[in-house]
Amino acid sequence: MELIMLLEKANVLVIDDEEILRNSCKKILTEEGHVVRWAENGDQGLEVFKEFHPDLVLIDLKMPGKSGMEVLEELESEDPDVIKIVITGYPTVSSALDAMKKGAYDFIPKPFSPDELVLIVTRGLEKRRLLIEKRALLIGQEKIRRNMISLVSHELRAPIAATVQYLEVILEGMAGEVSSEAEDLIRRCDERLREMLELINKWINLAVFDPIKMAEHFEDVNLSEMALKSMELLKSSAAKKKVRLSLEAQKNVPVIMGSKICLEEVFNNLIGNAIKYNRKKGRVEVKIYEQENDVCFEVNDNGIGIEKENLPRIFDEFYRVDGRRNSPIQGSGLGLAIVKTMVDAHGGAISVDSRFGKGTSFKIRLPKVIHLEKGS
Amino acid sequence: MIDFYRPFDRSNRTEVIMNLKGKRILIIDDDPDFVRSTGMILKSAGYEVLEAFSGKEGLEKSKAENPDLYIIDLMMETYSEGSRVVEALIEDENTRDKPRIMITSVDLKGPWDSYPRDEWLACDFLLQKPVPPAELLKYVEKAIA
């Protein structure tokens, strides 16, 4: 209802070099209740278009300066949902057809009567209304999908969370004395269930990940700072395994455009893995340097390495090289899938080199920010 | 543990409560298991525990019992019932300044989650289930003090 109301009083832009035609269009359409503005050439038309946000544009195909066809193409790339109608002289019906291929909704041949103009504009606005409704529907569907996932995530997490909380109450002795063996078993239950919660979180986050939404939060990111932060976070787990962490960062390395929160995930996963799949007293070296148009980030370890036949699958969801239940190293099998998704979403690339028993090296390339000089 | 400080000014509260024991805490959660385990944790520290299993019951109990702190589940029968409860508590001048803790099973750490966080901001703390007992007590103490 609101949409229909909106378009009964629509914004219409007329781009035409003939003053008489502009004035008569304005008079006729204003009487119909629309807000009409005009421009006398293509460049002016584009300017007005940007601030006026018209629902419909009438474009004369034959104008001095920028041609109607060029204007049409530019408007189409600005907003394909705005209705464009071309005004054409009788001898150029073929160019009107051309225009329709380039995104015009309809054409109106000169000379035209007020009734003809009103009819074509009304039809165009009806189309506009349908386009707006369709878009609103799509946005609504996406919202429902995301809410659905968030709801499912909640339903999956809630019973596990309730169980874990009971276990922790028991472990604290709040439900009476617990034998030391029972305590040990309950602690294991607690750990396993917390791992499962973590798995659900990761999987859901991967499922709802939306690169476009992420790109809305892009900012300048200094990778050296990010690496330091991540190493600080993982310091204690490295110390536990007596793994030595080191950072070699090129000075004044250029910033990249990215989402800090997502890149944090990348750094934590790669450095975390390098620690986790290492040997006691092993090494993890992080390197950051500029290479051509990219900033590179390397994580090298001299840990257990990955067998050649397993390498192609390590970025797959739920793939674990050591998938045994009793594997000494536990993981979700999602870490590298998340890393790959994030790197791809930043327009970057990831590669891996590994020698079984010797160590692994991950390298990420992210495009650096190029500041365009004025005039270039 | 993620928490958000309430953006409200509490500096006008001059009274510092040294003895927290005997303070009355209302738990509003539609999951009886949570109400039970959370209750056990709070009682172990000497708090008095009141229970409500829906937003509506919570607001009724709030009027009748006038508790010192609220622990509210976000998603109950409806998607953001907990937020509605908070709104009602803020509207009522008798409860507006009472400390509130929101607890939820929604994953709060996910960098890409789409849940509107503003809805939670009207609480002193936002905690994620399961809350380890010691953590819960720490936040309760912070909120009441």
Per-domain boundaries in chain B: 24-144
pLDDT tier, B84 (very low <50, low <70, confident <90, very high otherwise): confident
Q: Is A213 on the interface with B (CB under 8 A)?
A: yes
By the 8 A CB rule, do A167 and B115 touch?
no
Residues of B in contact with A265 (CB under 8 A): 111
By residue count, chain B amounts to: 145
Question: Is residue B100 predicted with pLDDT exceeding 70?
Answer: yes
Q: Measured between CA atoms, how close is A269 to chain B, in angstroms?
A: 14
Calpha distance B56→B62 (Å, rounded): 10
What residues of B are in contact with residue A164 (Cβ under 8 Å)?
130
Looking at per-residue confidence, does B2 or A52 come out higher? A52
Instruction: Establish if A339 touches chain B: CB-CB under 8 angstroms.
Output: no
Cα(A21)–Cα(A112) distance, integer angstroms: 10
The shortest CB-CB distance from B110 to any of A174, A201, A259 is to A201
Closest CB from A146, A147, A261 relative to B111: A261
User: Would you tell me which CATH number, out of the four given (3.40.250.10, 3.20.20.70, 3.90.1150.10, 3.40.50.2300), belongs to the domain B24-144?
Assistant: 3.40.50.2300
CA A209 from centre of chain: 8
**pLDDT higher than threshold 90 for residue A160:** yes
Distance CA A85, CA A12 (A): 11
- Give Dmax (Cα) for chain A: 97
Distance from the Cα of B60 to chain A's closest Cα (Å) equals: 25
- The whole-angstrom distance between A10's CA and the closest CA on chain B is 33
Per residue in B28-37, pLDDT (tens digit) is: 999 999 999 9
Which among A11, A12, A10, A62 is positioned nearest to A41, based on CA atoms?
A: A62
| Higher pLDDT, residue B66 or A132 | B66
How high does pLDDT run on average in chain B?
81
Q: pLDDT tens digit string along A23-77? A: 999 999 999 899 999 999 999 999 999 999 999 999 998 888 888 889 999 998 8
Count contacts between A and B (CB, < 8 Å). 83
pLDDT range class, residue A322, cuts 50, 70, 90: low
Taking the Cβ of residue A46 and every Cβ of chain B, the question of whether any pair is shorter than 8 Å is answered with no
Higher pLDDT residue, A329 or A326?
A: A329
Residue A113, number of CB atoms within 10 A of its CB: 9
Determine the Cα–Cα distance for residues A267 and A249; give it in Å rounded to an integer: 14
pLDDT of A1 over the 50 cut: no
- pLDDT tier at A199 (50, 70, 90 boundaries)? confident
- pTM, whole model, 2 decimals? 0.56
Least confident window among A103-117, A141-155, B22-36: A141-155
Cα A80 to Cα A38, A54, A61, A84, A117, distances in angstroms: 20, 12, 18, 9, 22
Q: Report CB contact under 8 Å: A150, B113.
A: yes
Q: At residue A219, does pLDDT exceed 90?
A: no
Name the residue among B37, B44, B104 with its Cβ closest to that of A165.
B37
Question: pLDDT band at A181, cuts 50/70/90?
Answer: very high
Q: Please state the rounded mean pLDDT for residues A324-328.
A: 57
Crossing angle (nearest 10°) for helices A93-101 and A68-78? 20
pLDDT at A2 over 50: no
B-chain residues near A201 (CB < 8 A) = 107, 109-110
User: Where residue B13 falls among pLDDT bands split at 50, 70, 90?
Assistant: very low
Percentage of chain A with pLDDT > 90?
A: 39
Strand order in the sheet with A349-355: A244-249, A283-291, A294-301, A359-367, A349-355
